[in-house]
Structure 1
């Protein structure tokens, strides 16, 4: 059986104020052509299908177009909800979708009920773990929530005796926290919540052939059978990997046989250019970056008038501009909003407490209280 592992479509997300719908449409339709060309049996989408719990109509239209194209190419679809999705909305009418070969897994109470696929060797059970809010599943951390979920999955694998594949949406690590791997916002309300890769390990009685992870936006291999596919587009300048694509996963009669990377086209590259404004406007070596998304760092001693407008005359897709004078002190001169953009809520609260307390941050008890309150708020938002 051949599976294609993708994740983090984030349909409806913008890139520094620019719509990504057209670019994403092209990539997802290319992915559907790859399904046909590579004879893929099932496409796995490991969470964050949408970027918002309340997607706009145009986002739903692209979702339908992409899924229908994948089905027309001959593959079943198995997808789970991520921390950006509304589980209730994504899972609406899931039984009807399953009748058409699109299997949507959003219910924590049914995460040990697999989607059963078949090939010439028999059955393959695909267990789709939706994003698990710890407060709602009886855990204080995401590690505890996923450990409990995997206990249920392993029990089902042992009972059923089929080859098993797992989808999960989390911040997993094989020992080193992969900070530069994706540029995604923190997955928990209470702060960084890393899940050790050992949580997904199979046993002799309940082997797990492959674990398809979502949440980080760049591809990563945590173990031969545990991988991130990353997002199909670049969604921030923090996503340092230039590659976009998906993993092709081949199973044989006993389990995992082979995994190889499938490149997808990058509609527009990310580039950073640094130097004085006049030099950037005149440098012939930058000719091949004129159609890239540009993050420009100006090193002029003083701020240049109309710098963004002038840069866009040569680089029409300048998305971000920073003034960093050459030889200036290394102190962060950005505004408070710029320095805190993208930080998780818990980090914002901790920073505020440090500021008003002259450097004394929250105590352990206060941090735990903040985590519980924010987790409750997130749970209420997702249940809405």
Structure 2
């Protein structure tokens, strides 16, 4: 059985206010073409198909078009809801779509009802586990502990019970959206800790041949049978070093796993650069990043004038500016209380300016402005 494992499409998401729908469409073209070229027996998508519960209409159209293209290829798809998706909205029409080979698993109560596909070696049971928010599903699974480990453990107990009742030799795949201990997160995953401890142990998924995971955006291997595909596109600069890909997974007759990565299209590389503005504008070593989406960290002790506009002259796709001035007062007091102890309002204000400027305090005109503002605040009048 050959399957393509992907997750975390986040259709409708932007990247620092840059729309990504064209890049997401290019990825889905790549997915469909890979399924055709590699003769995949199934496509599994482990949650977060959309970026929010009520996605924009262009994202819905793109998703709909992709489902039609997979159905036209005759490639079954098993898809689960992630923590960004609305299970009820995503699951509308699910029973009708099953006739076309599109299997949307969004109801936690049905997590032990598999999609059964066959190859020349026999049956493979695909169990879709949507994102399980402990506070919402603990009663469904009859657990008292409000943790992710408790509800996922109960769901997997049901999966193993169903699998044990099937003919000997039935192979199994679980498609789940969860944070498994040992996985490396990035800055772009929404926290799923609400309602209990976020991470679940890998042993929760024991007893199945392959677990296709979603939620973490970096492609990674927890065990040979437990993998994250990661997101197909970068959604934060913390993913600058990621190599975005799909997993092409083969299950042999005994359920042994062979997996290889299939690279995803890169709409534009990411780059994180750091230094003083003059250096960033002149360093020849930064030339390879001139066509990248750029996050620039400025270390100038004083913030230069119009830094974004000046950076954009060399890096036209600069998207994010971080201010991290080099410190000139390394012996600063440990606590805020120590910094303000015994000081009047004027001194506190001046020291704050020095703090945010990396040790450079206000000049004479700025001190006068601060003095006038403080006086106006005390009297209820207007500063000059």
Same fold? TM cut 0.5: yes
Query: In the alignment, is the contact (CA less than 8 A) between 1:79 and 1:128 conserved in 2?
Result: yes
Aligned residues: 323
Residues 290 and 314 in structure 1, CA contact (< 8 A), matched pair in contact too: yes
* Pair 1:40–1:82, CA change in 2 (3 A): same
**Unaligned stretches of 5+ in structure 1?**
203-207, 332-384
- Per-residue deviation, 1:330: 8.2
Assess if the C-alpha contact under 8 Å between 2:184 and 2:216 holds in 1.
no
Query: Which residue is equivalent to 1:339?
Result: none
Superposition map of 1:320-339 within 5 A: 320-328=320-328
Shift of 1:187: 1.3
Deviations 1:297-339 (A, max 9, x none): 11112101111111112212211101212245689xxxxxxxx
Structure-2 separation of matches of 1:228 and 1:236: 18
* Contact 2:184/2:218, CA 8 A, preserved across alignment: no
Question: Counterpart of 2:165 in 1: which secondary structure?
Answer: helix
SS of aligned partner of 2:237: coil
Shift of 1:240: 4.7
1:165 to 163, 168, 173: 173
**Structure 2 counterpart of 1:146, from 152, 160, 163:** 152
1:237-285 Cα distance to aligned partner (Å, 9 max, x none): 1225420111111011111241111111211111111111122122222
Q: Point out which structure has higher relative CO (alpha carbons under 8 A, 6+ apart).
A: 1
**Quick check: 1:40–1:74 contact (8 Å CA) kept in 2?**
no
The offset of 1:191, in angstroms, is 6.4
Paired with 1:212 and 1:187, the residues of 2 have a C-alpha distance of 18
Distance change in 2, residues 1:16/1:118 (3 Å): same
Q: CA deviation at 1:129?
A: 0.4
Answer yes or no: is the 8 Å Cα contact 2:133–2:195 preserved in 1.
no
Q: Structure 1 residues 289, 158: CA separation in 2 closer, same or farther (over 3 Å shift)?
A: same
Cα gap change, 1:56 to 1:252, in 2 (>3 Å) = same
TM-score, structure 1 as length reference: 0.81
- Cα gap change, 1:222 to 1:179, in 2 (>3 Å): closer
Q: Which structure has the bigger radius of gyration? A: 2
Distance, in Å, in 1 between the alignment partners of 2:241 and 2:318 is 19
Partner of residue 134, structure 1: 134
The equivalent of 2:355 in structure 1 is none
The answer (yes or no) to whether the contact 2:51–2:85 under 8 Å persists in 1 is yes
Alignment of structure 1 residues 59-138 onto 2, 5 Å = 59-138=59-138
CA root-mean-square deviation: 1.7
Structure 1 distance, partners of 2:257, 2:302, is 59
- 1:325 and 1:200, CA in 2 relative to 1: closer, same or farther beyond 3 A? same
Kept in 2, the 8 Å contact 1:273–1:295? The answer is: yes
> What displacement does 1:225 show?
0.3
TM-score in terms of structure 2 length = 0.81
Tell me the residue number matched to 1:347: none
Give 1:193's aligned residue.
Answer: 198
- Please list, as runs of the form range in 1=range in 2, the aligned pairs for 1:269-284 lying within 5 A after superposition: 269-284=269-284
Structure 2 counterpart SS, 1:301? coil
Query: For the Cα contact (< 8 Å) 1:143–1:194, is it kept in 2?
Result: yes
